[in-house]
């Protein structure tokens, strides 16, 4: 990428989102939410959107619109009509509980894997108004499922959770394939590129390489910056684990926590030489108020897009190239508390979920109507210059 | 002239006393009753208090008042408890099994959303402003009920970090009613008799201390010297019972049950102190101010509290002490239903919860309720003044008639415009 990402448009939503991803075909953006649903948007080129008379206002609403919403001065002000792409809300996918913390698309089929914080795992078509689950397992884990990973060939999915288990499932029918019981809460996991092993990271920032067919830990190494004990709080900093390039580099990202409670900590990215387990790069992305790297997207042109969230109001979008110690691009303006970044398969566009301004505050704060408002996650659409 | 002890005055007098009587504390042969006998005596007729303070603010939604599958409910499930129809957060699995012994107040609605004012106001019972600082609950009980027949200090505070004698808790009652704080469960520094000092030498030194004490007292305000002498004497009694806070002697099985954590260890020491006859034991635990990553924070913190809390409730019930011990677990406020951008919850005094158990308290009760989304209390909320009346009533103290005497000025012991919460009382 030679130039800065260009803002295309910010789409407001009416709830807090956790994990946005584009479908491999590029037609759907989906995100788990904090209110037990998966939100979906149809990705529509503006010309097509005009053809189907989709107004900007419809696209600006997170809630699926049964009818076009009235013109709203605030939305009109926020809209950037030059955007070539619109996100048109689709009906949410319901039937989940608590938080939908992780979603993952099938690599080849039009299916979405969804997990929630009560331990449910489901596989559902992601198109259509009310798609019926292909399969679901309400008790896949006995606690929050923190992450779903899909093998490169799409045949297996792996999940990990607060119940200290890694579980592997047949993606076609949801049948269990393997399981591994660990000794602490597991925050992140990923398949190795060849699909034979799983790497997972736990609360204590220990990374384990699992031969899941043999239920055997092959090796372990530490990502020490991602954990601290603060008084009696185990502060877990790992949020991301993914392979870069062709699998030689394993990236861990999250927070180097300084303390619990407020969770003051520095956003950190660490590259490991996967063959040796040795750290080869540690990039610290700010001060202790800036918190966590919550999500990353690896661009095939060889750079990393990452987002951070720290103390309320603090958030960053950064671009980092291999071997560099400093981001080549950092954006903070208008991006408070970013929790996910989704790269479109066209490799030109990406979406960052952020948080509305003024999301925090002690005590009573009501709207003019006397309602107690929740926070929301705007969707910030960017374009990568050619 | 302000009758309250200034910190530097206290420090000077303490240093002088300690300098004059270094290593003078009796420590060796166990005095008083053996633990089981003392516990038996306590069971019969002496009321005690265990006050668990979760500093910073435990989230009501991740503990006593879960609202699963609501907009602000968070990721956790609610689980059934031993009381049909009552649910706690899944993070409270062990306390859920003790729910039939607990009384959960879910409609606290208090005034302060900052720590600096909230901590003091909640622990002082937020009386009407009388121009003098009111005592914390522990100091109030030390004054109103005094030591038990064990003669152990009436107000002991087991806390993280450092210990010492904390006079500020006592407010206008004067330094005598401050707390004896055990930093990390350990006795105040320099209190134990030096190992090189024989018992008879220690006794001689103690006589010297008493003589110097009298001489010193003749030149000082009675308030100060009384406090110092009082603390010294009660602490000395505590030193005779060193087995109750010697962590090396804590049974491994109990350590496992309470959890090998800071709060587990402190709660186990608290149990020993209650069994030994300390009137009021406060266990403080820090780090609950989860403005960021609230849910992972509570997932780490709450089960550690839960394990220790459930274990001590179970043990106090098994020994019979619960009948005469008022147990309270609370913070200075709850946490906002709204989840901020740092995935945290902020301060929320509008609608939050506390748990009680033991003497005078209705077991298995849930008092008050919040609305469906947990944002505000249904009907009327209870301020801390009403809670203080409730506690006093549970302990057999008539909070409507008993008064403090502040140098001739009668002062109510609790907010005179509030009254006890009847639904919470037996």
- Residues from chain B that touch A309, judged by Cβ atoms under 8 A, are 341-343
Please state, in angstroms and rounded to a whole number, the distance separating the CA atoms of residues A187 and B246: 38
Burial group, residue A87, by CB count within 10 angstroms (0-12, 13-18, 19+): buried
- State whether B75 and A236 contact (CB < 8 Å): no
pLDDT for B17: 32
How confident is the model over A320-373, as pLDDT tens digits?
998 899 999 999 999 999 999 999 999 999 999 999 999 998 877 888 998 999
Residue A356, Ramachandran bin (φ over 0: left; ψ between -120 and 50: alpha; else beta) = beta
CB A103 within 8 A of CB A38: yes
From the list B398, B360, B356, B407, the residue with the least C-alpha distance to B144 is: B398
- State whether B347 and A311 contact (CB < 8 Å): no
- State whether B292 and A291 contact (CB < 8 Å): yes
Contacts across the A-B interface (CB distance below 8 Å)? 151
pLDDT for B205: 75
CB A2 within 8 A of CB A385: yes
Instruction: Tell me if residue A273 falls in helix, strand or coil.
Output: strand
Half-sphere exposure of A364 (CA within 13 A, CB side): 15
Q: How far is B155 from chain A (nearest CA, A)?
A: 24
Nearest CA in chain B to A230: B287
CA–chain centroid gap for B49, Å, is: 7
The pLDDT mean for chain A works out to 91
* Locus of tokens 């147990």: B327
Name the fold adopted by B46-186+252-424.
Answer: Alkaline Phosphatase, subunit A (3.40.720)
Q: How confident is the model over A193-203, as a mean pLDDT?
A: 97
pLDDT for B192: 65
Given a cut of 50, whether residue A89 has pLDDT beyond it is yes
Q: How far is A181 from chain B (nearest CA, A)?
A: 19
Query: Which stretches of A157-196 are DSSP H helices?
Result: none
Structure tokens at A14: 């009416």
Low-confidence residues of chain B, pLDDT below 50?
A: 1-34, 42-43
Q: SS3 string of B196-262?
A: CCCHHHHHHHHHHHHHHHHHHHHCCCHHHHHHHHHHHHHHHHHHHCHHHCCHHHCCHHHHHHHCCCH
Given a cut of 60, whether residue A84 has pLDDT beyond it is yes
Q: Which of B185, B260, B292, B333 is the best substitution to test chain A (most A C-beta atoms within 10 A)?
A: B292
Given a cut of 90, whether residue A51 has pLDDT beyond it is no
**pLDDT-derived band at A2, boundaries 50, 70, 90:** low
CB A328 within 8 A of CB A290: no
How confident is the model over A140-189, as pLDDT tens digits?
999 999 999 999 999 999 999 999 999 999 999 999 999 999 999 999 99
Burial group, residue A233, by CB count within 10 angstroms (0-12, 13-18, 19+): buried
Among the residue ranges A237-241, A378-382, B224-228, the one predicted with the least confidence is: B224-228
pLDDT for A341: 98
Given a cut of 80, whether residue A53 has pLDDT beyond it is no
More confident residue, B217 or A72: B217
pLDDT for A94: 97
Q: How confident is the model over A295-312, as a mean pLDDT?
A: 96
DSSP state of B67: -
Structure tokens at B384: 């801390």
Please state, in angstroms and rounded to a whole number, the distance separating the CA atoms of residues A295 and A342: 9
DSSP state of A238: E
- Residues from chain A that touch B376, judged by Cβ atoms under 8 A, are 372
From the list B143, B18, B135, B89, the residue with the least C-alpha distance to B301 is: B89
Please state, in angstroms and rounded to a whole number, the distance separating the CA atoms of residues A319 and A309: 15
Burial group, residue A47, by CB count within 10 angstroms (0-12, 13-18, 19+): exposed
């Amino acid at each position: 990428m030679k130039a800065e990402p260009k803002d295309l448009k910010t789409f407001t939503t009416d709830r807090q989102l956790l994990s946005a991803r584009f479908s491999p075909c590029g037609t759907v953006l989906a995100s788990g939410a904090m209110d037990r649903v998966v939100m979906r948007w149809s990705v529509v080129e503006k010309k097509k959107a005009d053809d189907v008379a989709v107004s900007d206002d419809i696209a600006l609403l997170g809630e699926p619109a049964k009818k076009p919403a009235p013109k709203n001065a605030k939305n009109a002000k926020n809209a950037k009509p030059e955007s070539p792409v619109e996100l048109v809300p689709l009906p949410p996918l319901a039937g989940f509980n608590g938080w939908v913390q992780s979603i993952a698309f099938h690599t080849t089929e039009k299916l979405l894997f969804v997990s929630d914080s009560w331990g449910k795992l489901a596989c559902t078509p992601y198109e259509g108004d009310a798609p019926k689950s292909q399969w679901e397992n309400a008790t896949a884990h006995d606690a929050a499922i923190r992450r779903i990973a899909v093998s490169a060939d799409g045949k297996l999915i792996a999940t990990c959770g607060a119940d200290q288990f890694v579980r592997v499932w047949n993606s076609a029918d949801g049948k269990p394939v393997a399981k591994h019981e660990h000794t602490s809460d597991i925050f992140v996991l990923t398949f190795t590129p060849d699909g034979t092993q799983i790497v997972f990271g736990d609360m204590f920032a220990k990374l384990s390489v699992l031969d899941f067919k043999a239920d055997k830990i092959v090796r372990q190494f530490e990502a020490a910056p991602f954990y601290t004990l603060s008084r009696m709080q185990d502060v877990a900093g790992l949020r991301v684990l993914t392979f870069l390039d062709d699998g030689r580099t394993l990236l861990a990202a999250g927070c180097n926590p300084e303390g619990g409670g407020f969770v003051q900590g520095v956003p950190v990215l660490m590259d490991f030489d996967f063959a040796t387990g040795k750290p080869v790069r540690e990039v610290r992305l700010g001060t202790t108020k800036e918190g966590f790297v919550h999500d990353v997207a690896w661009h095939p042109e060889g750079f990393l897009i990452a987002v951070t969230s720290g103390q309320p109001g603090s958030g960053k979008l950064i671009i980092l190239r291999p071997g560099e110690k400093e981001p080549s691009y950092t954006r903070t303006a208008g991006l408070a508390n970013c929790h996910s970044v989704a790269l479109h398969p066209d490799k030109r566009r990406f979406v960052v979920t952020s948080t509305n301004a003024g999301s925090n505050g002690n005590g009573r704060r009501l709207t003019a109507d006397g309602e107690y408002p929740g926070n929301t996650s705007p969707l910030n659409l960017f374009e990568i210059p050619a | 002239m302000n009758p309250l002890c200034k910190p530097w005055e206290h420090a000077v007098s303490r240093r002088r006393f300690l300098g004059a009587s270094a290593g003078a504390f009796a420590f060796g042969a166990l005095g008083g009753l053996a633990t089981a006998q003392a516990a038996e005596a306590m069971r019969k007729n002496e009321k005690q208090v265990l006050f668990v303070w979760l500093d910073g603010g435990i989230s009501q939604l991740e503990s006593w008042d879960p609202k699963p599958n609501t907009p602000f409910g968070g990721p956790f499930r609610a689980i059934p408890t031993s009381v049909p129809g009552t649910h706690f957060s899944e993070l409270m699995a062990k306390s859920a099994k003790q729910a039939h012994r607990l009384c959960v107040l879910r409609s606290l609605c208090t005034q302060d959303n900052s720590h600096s004012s909230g901590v003091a106001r909640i622990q002082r019972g937020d009386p009407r402003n009388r121009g003098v600082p009111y005592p914390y609950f522990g100091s109030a009980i030390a004054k109103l009920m005094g030591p038990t027949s064990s003669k152990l200090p009436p107000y002991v505070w087991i806390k993280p970090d450092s210990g010492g004698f904390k006079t500020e808790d006592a407010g206008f009652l004067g330094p005598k009613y401050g707390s004896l704080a055990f930093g990390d469960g350990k006795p105040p520094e320099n209190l134990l008799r030096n190992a090189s000092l024989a018992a008879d030498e220690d006794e001689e030194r103690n006589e010297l201390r008493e003589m110097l004490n009298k001489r010193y007292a003749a030149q000082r305000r009675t308030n100060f010297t009384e406090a110092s002498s009082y603390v010294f004497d009660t602490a000395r009694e505590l030193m005779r019972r060193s087995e109750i806070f010697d962590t090396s002697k804590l049974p491994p099985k109990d350590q496992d049950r309470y959890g090998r954590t800071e709060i587990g260890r402190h709660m186990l020491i608290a149990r020993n102190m209650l069994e030994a006859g300390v009137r009021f034991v406060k266990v403080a635990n820090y780090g609950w101010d989860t403005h960021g990553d609230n849910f992972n924070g509570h997932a780490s913190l709450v089960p550690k509290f839960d394990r220790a809390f459930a274990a001590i409730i179970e043990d106090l019930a098994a020994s019979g002490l619960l009948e005469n011990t008022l147990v309270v677990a609370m913070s200075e406020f709850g946490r906002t239903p709204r989840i901020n951008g740092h995935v945290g919850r902020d301060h929320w005094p509008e609608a939050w919860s506390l748990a009680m158990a033991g003497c005078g308290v209705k077991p298995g009760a849930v008092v008050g309720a919040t609305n469906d989304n947990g944002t505000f209390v249904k009907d009327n909320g209870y301020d801390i003044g009403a809670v203080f009346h409730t506690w006093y009533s549970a302990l057999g103290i008539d909070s409507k008639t008993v008064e403090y005497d502040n140098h001739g000025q009668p002062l109510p012991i609790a907010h005179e415009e509030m009254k006890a919460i009847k639904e919470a009382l037996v």
